Amino acid sequence: MLGGPSAEREVSLRTGAAVARALRSLGHSVTEIDPQSGAGSWALPPGTDVVFLALHGTYGEDGTIQRELDVLGVPYTGCGSEASWLAFDKLLTKQRCLAAGVATPRFVVLDSSAAPFPAGWQFPVVLKPVRQGSSVGLQFVEKMEQWAASLAEAMRYDVRVLCEERIVGRETTVGILADQPLPVVEVRSRSGAYDYDSKYTAGATEYFCPAEFDPVTTARIQAAGLAAFRAIGGRDYARVDVMVRADGVPFVLEVNTLPGMTETSLLPKAAVAGGLNYPALCQRMIELALLRSAGVVH
């Protein structure tokens, strides 16, 4: 399943096309389904063994499609409906992380585009729609003159916005596969802000995998990613974004339960560094779903 009705439709189409090519190269019979209008706009072919979810954003990543497939009793890749719903909500994710003892940047929730800058806070801060993905609506605010316009832009994408302390340090991401962390990827945006444009503009960002951290810091980053994944009840796979402060302390930003899966996306990069090429990664994701449906716990 690819495309869908969310703001991340174009990225999802690219993810789905890459996955379909890889699965066909392995000899699988693949049907591509695009639920453009969400519920009721699609039907599975008879005899479908497993649904590979290549959807992003609302409907695909927020637990909705997962609940619909649960009702149908059809196995699907990735996290279940509750974990997907939790992870898609940045506030709920942070609350779960804090309850599990996982460090995450200080935050406050805003529900009005006229909200004042939080009392006692200092710049820089980051504004994020509570329920969006792929950096949609993300705003980096460096000074008071930017506050009103940045908040108004973020509020275009949700009725609640997270105002988060911006951690100064190195930006990383940790892929999780079968409850094990993959090698850490470091992300270096040429603009200094890893936003939507930096993610999807060729040459705008450099990636380093495995990231060049000392073994202790690497283990700390991987442990934070895995703990956040478990805190939201994740299964099979996900990608956890982690900022690493100069003193080596990791702060979890969010959990992506259906991360990008083009051949140059971050989870596949990490899998390659861990010895798993792109088709093999797609195959492993399918196997995890089928094993679970057969009652085998990995």
Q: Which of 3, 4, 6, 8 is catalytic?
A: 8
For residues 140 and 197, the answer to whether their CB atoms sit within 8 Å is no
For residues 39 and 32, the answer to whether their CB atoms sit within 8 Å is no
277 is catalytic: no
214 is catalytic: no
260 is catalytic: yes
For residues 267 and 259, the answer to whether their CB atoms sit within 8 Å is yes
Q: Which of 9, 14, 239, 265 is catalytic?
A: 239
134 is catalytic: yes
Q: Which of 60, 175, 234, 260 is catalytic?
A: 260
Q: Which of 62, 186, 195, 254 is catalytic?
A: 254
Residues 6+ apart with CB under 8 A from 169: 243, 244, 245, 246
- C-alpha to C-alpha distance for 88 and 33, rounded to whole angstroms: 22
Q: Which of 157, 196, 200, 207 is catalytic?
A: 200
**What is the DSSP-derived secondary structure letter of residue 171?**
E
**Residue 6, phi then psi, degrees to nearest 5:** -85, 175
198 is catalytic: no
200 is catalytic: yes
- C-alpha to C-alpha distance for 21 and 219, rounded to whole angstroms: 34
Strands (E), 179-223: 180-181, 185-189, 205-208
Closest CA to 207 of 289, 140, 141, 273: 273
Strands (E), 32-153: 107-110, 125-129, 139-141
Strand partners, 177: 180, 237
Q: Which residues are catalytic?
A: 8, 134, 200, 239, 241, 254, 256, 260
